[in-house]
Copies of this chain bind each other. A is one copy, B any other.
């Protein structure tokens, strides 16, 4: 818990009780989670959803979480430990992580050919497919 507090203070955020609990939860959770799911899992510990939204904005701005879009109509968030992306089954929503050999290759390549940009700060990369289980079921 002291570790979580330290992370927050390092990025210049007040280490309130709520913030520590939410961040600790995100670290333990693994995988992108929605605001609604967070509220349910945190249960009594959960702050108001408005506060969760505000936290996510701050954590993202501070670079300690990622924003993830699985084309569900809402965003997901996950603690940023190692750089990775996701493959999502469009039928059953199962998620698998994958890593690129050099994640920055794409940004470098894009910048080399870009006329309007010299600075890339973030990127989104998600793959959508059918998992083996759904494929077998012929979906």
Residues of A within 8 A of B (CB): 67, 69, 71, 75, 85, 87, 89-90, 94, 96, 98-101, 106-107, 109-110, 113-133, 135
Are A121 and B126 in contact, CB atoms less than 8 angstroms apart?
Answer: no
A94 to B106, CA, bound (A): 19
Query: Which single member of B69, B89, B123 contacts A117 (CB below 8 Å)?
Result: B89
A98 to B120, CA, bound (A): 13
Are B98 and A116 in contact, CB atoms less than 8 angstroms apart?
Answer: no
Question: Given the known A-B contacts A71-B67, A71-B69, A125-B125, are A96 and B119 also in contact in the complex, defined by CB atoms under 8 Å?
Answer: no
Chain B residue numbers with a CB within 8 Å of A101 are 109
Chain B residue numbers with a CB within 8 Å of A94 are 116
Are B100 and A109 in contact, CB atoms less than 8 angstroms apart?
Answer: yes
Chain B residue numbers with a CB within 8 Å of A109 are 98, 100-101
Are A127 and B100 in contact, CB atoms less than 8 angstroms apart?
Answer: no
Chain B residue numbers with a CB within 8 Å of A87 are 110, 114, 116-117, 120
A120 to B124, CA, bound (A): 17
A60 to B130, CA, bound (A): 16
A107 to B87, CA, bound (A): 9
Are A69 and B129 in contact, CB atoms less than 8 angstroms apart?
Answer: no
Are A131 and B106 in contact, CB atoms less than 8 angstroms apart?
Answer: no
Are A135 and B118 in contact, CB atoms less than 8 angstroms apart?
Answer: yes
CB<8 Å pairs between A and B, sample of 22? A67-B71, A69-B71, A87-B110, A87-B114, A87-B117, A89-B117, A90-B121, A96-B114, A98-B109, A100-B106, A106-B106, A116-B131, A117-B129, A117-B130, A119-B130, A120-B129, A122-B127, A123-B125, A123-B127, A123-B128, A124-B126, A124-B128
